[in-house]
Amino acid sequence: MILKNQVLNRHHKKPIVYDVFYNDNKQKRPLVLFCHGYKGFKDWGAWHLVAETFMKANCVFLKFNFSHNGGTVKQPIDFPDLEAFGHNNYSKELEDLNDMIGFVLSDKNEFSQEIDLGQIILIGHSRGGGIATLKASEDSRISKLITWASVSDFKSRFGSEDEIEIWRKTGVKTVLNGRTKQEMPHYYQFYEDFKANETRLDIERAVKLLKIPHLIIHAKDDLSVLYEEALNLHEWNPDSKLLALKDSNHVFGSSHPWEEDMLPEVLNQVVEASIEFIN
């Protein structure tokens, strides 16, 4: 069963668009919630093949767009709503993830009977790995955490004090999307929200608080999020398992669009290792 572009409507909040993949056999099985990364979306690259592979391994796999990732209900791929993108922040992404967890564990969907409530797994890629880590550390409903090419801190990504001061004065800074050629805005509220919630948004603190199994997967040649960040995560949680990959990159050999009908070799390795860790 594949349910595409479903919509979670929320009171006074932007809706969340999601996909669910599962075998309709009325068996209780693990739920895997996948969090995409920065300038990402649920339909990027080979994520659909990732979802299908987890489904074949008898998991319920749910991938979703963060509400302010720049997509819309009508156009969930790419970034037609740059104004929403500019108003995104880490707190909103945590709130989105919390609302998705609450929804899938409720009786307000048609797949709740398929889920083993004792096996709720978060997978986060890149920035989504940081969000998943924060949520896993504070939510007792999460049973396992898997991070793919995850960041190990948020603070350093805001730049120097001089850069932040310029940002404060102008109110906005933009980042070029190399693929779509869009100038993507970040309003200064992003930094203000981080400062107001800095303790909660401290990934190091969150990792040290983890009491659940944690798998860290990272390519040694990752140029977007350096392998040293995986080493940080592993050092902060010595009970975690670290899988270091050779001859790969930040997206494990995938790209967008992905037009092949098979996963790239390294991404398949990532998925298989994750399924083994879940089981």
Instruction: Establish if 189 belongs to a structural domain.
Output: no
Task: Tally Cβ neighbours within 10 Å of residue 39.
Answer: 20
Q: Cα–Cα distance between 14 and 8 in angstroms, integer?
A: 9
Question: Is the distance from CB of 162 to CB of 174 less than 8 angstroms?
Answer: no
Range of the domain at 42: 2-153+198-278
**What does the pLDDT look like over 123-151, one tens digit per residue?**
999 999 999 999 999 999 999 999 999 99
The total number of structural domains in the chain stands at: 1
Instruction: Establish if 75 belongs to a structural domain.
Output: yes
CATH number at residue 145: 3.40.50.1820
Question: Is the distance from CB of 249 to CB of 223 less than 8 angstroms?
Answer: yes
List of the chain residues with pLDDT < 70 = none
Instruction: Establish if 187 belongs to a structural domain.
Output: no
Instruction: Establish if 13 belongs to a structural domain.
Output: yes
Whole-number pLDDT of residue 109: 85
Question: Is the distance from CB of 80 to CB of 72 less than 8 angstroms?
Answer: yes
Instruction: Establish if 188 belongs to a structural domain.
Output: no
Whole-number pLDDT of residue 86: 98
